[in-house]
Copies of this chain bind each other. A is one copy, B any other.
Amino acid sequence: MYSPEISDLFKKLGINIGDSILVSNESVKFEGILMPRPDIGNNNIIVIKRKDGYNVGIRYSGGTKVEKLESRTNEILLPKLHAQANESLKTIHMLYTGGTIGSKVDYITGGVHVLTNPGELLFEVPELQNIANINVKDIMHTFSEDMSHNEWSAIASEVFKSILDGADGVIITHGTDTMHYTAAALSFMIGGLNKPVVLTGAQRSSDRGSSDAFMNLICSAYVAQSDIAEVMICMHEDSSDKNCIAIRGTKARKMHTSRRDAFKPINNLPIARISYTGSIEKLSKYKKANVDVELKLLNKFESRTALIKAYPNSDPSIIDYYVKKGCKGIILEGTGLGHLPIETKSNGYSWLSHVKDAITSGVVVGITSQCIYGRVDYKVYSAGRLLHESGAVYCEDMTPEVAYVKLGVLLGNYDSNKAKNMLNVDISGEITERSEFDF
């Protein structure tokens, strides 16, 4: 926060963070974008980012004059680093949604705050201007734990627009907590995708020397102009700063709370390895653009979809609870090959009858495994056979999270019967015939 004196002045002049302003005093005169006040240091110094990318601070005193030049623009946030787009480079739209990659550490509290002006990212990674013409769009400021299907739909719609607008690729900066849910949502919400769509983020905020933001952004900018016409997550391959990997959006999961290589492909190889210097090594099959398929936006989502984990002692009446609330689809996280407590002798719980009741009342029920890795199989044990006979859909090698997102999108865009029939049919690489991976 700026000092009360400065804050009052900004209020009077209608100036907000991100606006273009002119600041002058007896000896100097600076024009640029008003930056948020760092959390430590003198709060009586106005910080602006000049067109050349440098931040300058001007001490505020009686003689300081401040003038508002232009309001912050939400669409294209930054003046182009080059006056004109470099015609030899491709054009990438970078959609900013919030998250650590656009955050600053408060060194006093140790906490992380969202950037007010995501365009700062471009100044922090000037290498990007040599890789592509990058247009930053500020579409929302949301921590990823607060993302819902409405945000997924909005992002899908922006991606759709960007591609129609002629972008060669799209990068979405996103908080990491639920990035894999959003990646799955975009994979199912955009049909006939013909450009790379790359989600990236950071496990450490971009103003820290140890941040993974720089390499993640640079590698994303390379893979966003490749021939891979899929939704991907591009993050560190390991804890070194050597390579990133692009993981299929329907086969990714955040598997560590803090490591920079937190995202792992599940039941799949990464699509590609991308080096800091721009080489792209393809590691598995991928989809290329198909001009015969029409780009389609299917961004509705049935919010009355639930993800329920079964565990020892868990009471199956939780299913009834969701059915009573009007739930249209349920993904169950079973154990092992996709089992639920069928005959718990000591407490009389039987998930089977509750699953049957839900299905009878028209709810689509899918079965996945909390093992995360591997494939469910109803044929091996009686628990699986009974659940399958009752009409539950075994979700092959999808993670619980991907099955949940897929069912929500299917129920949002189709009727229950069609949704049920499509649940274990591959749409966007989420089901593989044979899982190939290291785990």
Residues of chain A touching chain B, judged by Cβ–Cβ distance below 8 Å, are 110-112, 142-152, 175-178, 181-182, 254-259, 262, 301, 303, 305-307, 309-315, 318, 321, 325, 333-347, 349, 369, 371-377, 379-383, 385, 401, 404, 408, 439
In the complex where A111-B381, A143-B381 touch, is A373 in contact with B311 (Cβ < 8 A)? no
Interface centre among A110, A147, A150, A335, by most B CB within 10 Å? A335
How far, in whole Å, are A306 and B309 apart by their CA atoms in the complex? Answer: 11
Given A145-B336, A182-B312, A311-B401, 16 further pairs, Cβ under 8 A: A111-B381, A111-B385, A112-B380, A145-B310, A145-B339, A145-B383, A146-B344, A148-B313, A149-B313, A149-B346, A152-B312, A177-B335, A257-B369, A257-B371, A257-B376, A258-B374
- For A333, the chain B residues whose CB sits under 8 A away are 309
Contact check, B181 vs A145: say whether CB atoms are below 8 A apart.
no
Contact check, B340 vs A145: say whether CB atoms are below 8 A apart.
yes
20 CB < 8 A contacts A-B = A111-B379, A111-B381, A112-B381, A144-B336, A145-B336, A146-B342, A146-B343, A148-B312, A148-B341, A148-B347, A148-B349, A176-B336, A178-B311, A181-B312, A254-B335, A257-B338, A257-B377, A262-B371, A306-B314, A372-B372
- For A112, the chain B residues whose CB sits under 8 A away are 380-381
- For A254, the chain B residues whose CB sits under 8 A away are 335-336, 371
**What is the distance, in angstroms, from A10's C-beta to the closest C-beta of chain B?**
24
- For A347, the chain B residues whose CB sits under 8 A away are 148, 150, 303
Interface centre among A255, A371, A372, by most B CB within 10 Å? A371
Chain B residue nearest in CB terms to A321: B321
Chain B residue nearest in CB terms to A385: B111
**What is the distance, in angstroms, from A86's C-beta to the closest C-beta of chain B?**
37
Contacting residue for A255 out of B311, B314, B371, CB 8 A: B371
Contact check, A380 vs B111: say whether CB atoms are below 8 A apart.
yes
Contact check, A312 vs B147: say whether CB atoms are below 8 A apart.
yes
Contact check, A336 vs B373: say whether CB atoms are below 8 A apart.
no
How far, in whole Å, are A374 and B253 apart by their CA atoms in the complex? Answer: 14
- For A150, the chain B residues whose CB sits under 8 A away are 346-347
How far, in whole Å, are A213 and B182 apart by their CA atoms in the complex? Answer: 41
How far, in whole Å, are A345 and B176 apart by their CA atoms in the complex? Answer: 18
How far, in whole Å, are A170 and B258 apart by their CA atoms in the complex? Answer: 37
Chain B residue nearest in CB terms to A113: B382
How far, in whole Å, are A225 and B143 apart by their CA atoms in the complex? Answer: 51
- For A313, the chain B residues whose CB sits under 8 A away are 148-149, 301, 303, 305, 408
How far, in whole Å, are A408 and B181 apart by their CA atoms in the complex? Answer: 30
How far, in whole Å, are A128 and B349 apart by their CA atoms in the complex? Answer: 37
Chain B residue nearest in CB terms to A373: B256
Contact check, A373 vs B257: say whether CB atoms are below 8 A apart.
yes
Chain B residue nearest in CB terms to A439: B256
Contact check, B373 vs A255: say whether CB atoms are below 8 A apart.
yes
How far, in whole Å, are A110 and B379 apart by their CA atoms in the complex? Answer: 7
In the complex where A150-B346, A307-B311, A313-B303 touch, is A145 in contact with B255 (Cβ < 8 A)? no
How far, in whole Å, are A344 and B256 apart by their CA atoms in the complex? Answer: 23
- For A307, the chain B residues whose CB sits under 8 A away are 309, 311, 314
